[in-house]
Amino acid sequence: MSFWDSFWNIMWIFFWSFAFIAYLMALFAVISDLFRDHKLNGWLKALWIIFLIFVPFLTVLVYVIARAPGMNERAEQRARESQAATDTYIRDVASSSSADEIAKAKALLDNGSITPEEYAALKTRAMS
């Protein structure tokens, strides 16, 4: 066996490995989209799953061609919901009320950590 024979065998293995991983990603995308779609009833979901089991490559291809716009809309909706939840969480965790900021500044003033001018500046910033 020459070097080029083994080289092309390795390339062939890489190609089929890539194709298999790409298929698995498409399969998981289809399955997750099936269960994310609330407009599709349970019987149709079960039918798609049965076809995915018995005719996997053709079913994934047909699903992606037939239902691609809906898949995209559901993915965008999920991304918007996740972004909104993240933004809400960050706002809740990172922000504090004006009264809390003024109370912290007052405690610093009482400790002597800041001057009355700094306290006034912090109070003004908290009020705005």
**How far apart are alpha carbons 28 and 24 in whole angstroms?**
6
CB 53 within 8 A of CB 75: no
**How far apart are alpha carbons 33 and 68 in whole angstroms?**
10
Per-residue pLDDT of the chain (128 residues; tens, 9 = 90+): 666 678 888 899 999 999 999 999 999 999 999 998 888 899 999 999 999 999 999 999 999 899 888 888 888 998 999 999 998 888 777 766 778 888 888 888 898 888 889 888 888 888 87
